[in-house]
Amino acid sequence: MAGNKITQQVFEQVTKRNSGEVEFLQAVKEVLDSLGPVLDKNPKYVDAKILERIVEPERQIMFRVPWQDDKGEIHVNRGFRFEFNSALGPYKGGLRFHPTANASILKFLGFEQVFKNALTTLPMGGGKGGCDFDPKGKSDNEVMRFCQSFMTELCKHIGPNTDVPAGDIGVGGREIGFMFGQYKRIRNEFTGVLTGKALNWGGSLIRTEATGYGAVYFADEMLKTRNENFKGKICTVSGSGNVAQYTVEKLNQLGAKAVSLSDSAGSIHDPDGIDAEKLAFVLELKNVRRGRIKEYADKFGVEYRAGKKPWDIKCDCAFPSATQNEIDGNDAKTLLDNGCYVISEGANMPSTPEAVEQFIAKKILYGPGKAANAGGVATSGLEMSQNSLRLSWTREEVDEKLHNIMIAIHQQCFDAAKEYGQPGNLVAGANIAGFVKVADAMLDQGLV
Ligand code: NDP
């Protein structure tokens, strides 16, 4: 049977089994849609039912997270961990704390993570987890009590050779610290069970910067294919959290001008560019005071666009760095009409299928999240290596390794797209290159 027919059949089965899980189905469809030619060329994957296996998490854990607020009131949240695929190494992937976190969203993220981690070439399987807890507006003590309760259950399922979570939306250095403390207390083990740790107790230099830096390095590789670079390029960035902050920093270093940031309430447009001094204000605003991006507009006298995303601002390059499906079909059309021709996804699946379709049709330089934002997990992999070796590499060493990994990821996607007859289509390239690595390892390991 033709590869495309098989992928269609598998998708029908996945839809039936996971009905209503919109984001998960979106992520699975995108990958399956790329794999027809791979199956045609490699019937061994069909015979071994690799597709049917790869769309099913190896294990999923759902648990109650009770905690008490500062007034003594009790709250109950729902925690998850999707241990998706361990063919290439221990499960690895972030934890998301956001009121919208649910099985569909965390499962889509776990699925994407499998292929992303394969592209890094580091020995990491894929997983993802989180909770529908909202850290916004909570005191440090409340966040600590919640993290302790969350880890009290999660610690039964993870470990440095089993499953190594990291941060994601709503989980930064503070949350990783609280969770690490609780893991250590329960297990009596100081071990590399989480990444994104602080530098003085096992963290890696550049991990904080890695996703944003990596998304810019990836875009730089795409630009090089057209003999271009970042000098003088106008760039829009969404979000104002970890990924957005270090995307702006690297853009500044490479001579581009980042002109926007956003949060869930609105966006700012700063045509003069978010320079180092203004970025320092953002870091303090977001990471210490935990305020809203509107304060940037008030402080620097620029336009605040309540309730608006940055995609109608004219730019050469766009860096979606907030959340899934933040660029819809209309936003994509606006970006393209305004001349944007480089999109590098810091966020996971930030473009809807209607948006992706337009980017591919217009043959712009489009770096999908599972490739463009892999720098974060790659540097988490480097943190794991340093923890195992019990030594720390310098900032320059880690940055160089990260840069080389991003160059290699781009090359793999570029080559796979070409090999399978879709030159320049890095969506197909990323899906195919990631899939083949995982599928081959699954074949080697027998029916698991
Ligand atoms: P942060 O929590 O640090 O920041 C998230 C930012 O996105 C905030 O500005 C937040 O605004 C905004 N945001 C979140 N949800 C929404 C929403 N529904 N609508 C509009 N804005 C929203 O998270 P990160 O920077 O770590 O993560 C951003 C993206 O990058 C996510 O898609 C994540 O999966 C992806 N990613 C992160 C990696 C990492 O290493 N951290 C690695 C790879 C991918 P507000 O404060 O108002 O909620």
322, 348, 372 - which closes a domain: 372
The region, left, alpha or beta by phi > 0 then psi within -120 to 50, assigned to residue 353 is alpha
Helices assigned H by DSSP within 338-425: 353-361, 369-372, 375-389, 395-419
CA atoms within 13 Å, Cβ hemisphere of 245: 19
User: Is it the case that residue 439 has pLDDT exceeding 90?
Assistant: yes
User: Is it the case that residue 300 has pLDDT exceeding 90?
Assistant: yes
Asked if residue 380 belongs to a domain, the reply is no
218/337 same-domain check: yes
Asked if residue 396 belongs to a domain, the reply is no
Asked if residue 184 belongs to a domain, the reply is yes
Q: Which of 93, 92, 82 is nearest to 123 (CA)?
A: 92
256/291 same-domain check: yes
Question: What mean pLDDT comes out for the span 211-217?
Answer: 98
Residue 354 maps to which CATH number? Answer: 3.40.50.720
Question: What mean pLDDT comes out for the span 166-190?
Answer: 98
303/235 same-domain check: yes
Q: How far apart are CA 234 and CA 256, in angstroms?
A: 6
Q: What is the pLDDT of residue 1?
A: 83
* CA 242 – ligand 1 centroid, Å: 7
Question: What mean pLDDT comes out for the span 275-291?
Answer: 97
169, 286, 370: which to mutate for ligand 1, most atoms within 8 A of CB? 169
9/65 same-domain check: no
232/170 same-domain check: no
Tens of pLDDT, residues 29-78:
999 999 999 999 999 999 999 999 999 999 999 999 999 999 999 999 99
- Residue of the CA atom closest to atom 22 of ligand 1: 264
Contact between 239 and 311 under an 8 Å Cβ cutoff? The reply is: no
Tens of pLDDT, residues 203-213:
999 999 999 99
Asked if residue 24 belongs to a domain, the reply is yes
346/234 same-domain check: yes
Q: Across the chain, how many H-helices and E-strands are there?
A: 17, 13
Tens of pLDDT, residues 382-419:
999 999 999 999 999 999 999 999 999 999 999 999 99
93/160 same-domain check: yes
Question: What mean pLDDT comes out for the span 225-235?
Answer: 98
223/81 same-domain check: no
* CA 365 – ligand 1 centroid, Å: 23
Asked if residue 412 belongs to a domain, the reply is no
128 among known catalytic residues: yes
Contact between 217 and 403 under an 8 Å Cβ cutoff? The reply is: yes
147/67 same-domain check: yes
Q: What is the pLDDT of residue 124?
A: 98
| Active-site residue identified among 107, 128, 257, 309 | 128
Q: What is the pLDDT of residue 423?
A: 97
* CA 271 – ligand 1 centroid, Å: 23
23/39 same-domain check: yes
Count of domains forming the chain? 3
30, 54, 78 - which closes a domain: 54
For the chain, the first-to-last Cα distance in angstroms comes to 24
What confidence tier does 343 reach under pLDDT thresholds 50, 70, 90?
A: very high
Q: How far apart are CA 343 and CA 147, in angstroms?
A: 35
Q: Is the CB of 168 under 6 A from ligand 1?
A: yes
Mean of the per-residue pLDDT values of the chain: 98
User: Is it the case that residue 286 has pLDDT exceeding 90?
Assistant: yes
Q: The domain containing residue 22 runs over which residues?
A: 2-54
Asked if residue 432 belongs to a domain, the reply is no
User: Is it the case that residue 230 has pLDDT exceeding 90?
Assistant: yes
Q: Is the CB of 263 under 6 A from ligand 1?
A: yes
User: Is it the case that residue 431 has pLDDT exceeding 90?
Assistant: yes
Coil vs helix vs strand at 392: coil
pTM: 0.97
Q: How far apart are CA 182 and CA 389, in angstroms?
A: 23
30/124 same-domain check: no
Q: What is the pLDDT of residue 445?
A: 98
Q: Is the CB of 164 under 6 A from ligand 1?
A: no
Q: Is the CB of 249 under 6 A from ligand 1?
A: no
Q: DSSP letters of 330-345?
A: HHHHHHHHTT--EEE-
Contact between 401 and 208 under an 8 Å Cβ cutoff? The reply is: no
Q: What is the pLDDT of residue 446?
A: 97
215/334 same-domain check: yes
11, 36, 54 - which closes a domain: 54
Question: What's the maximum distance between 2 C-alpha atoms anywhere in the chain?
Answer: 63
User: Is it the case that residue 214 has pLDDT exceeding 90?
Assistant: yes
Asked if residue 443 belongs to a domain, the reply is no
Q: Is the CB of 126 under 6 A from ligand 1?
A: no
Question: What mean pLDDT comes out for the span 337-357?
Answer: 98
Tens of pLDDT, residues 115-128:
999 999 999 999 99
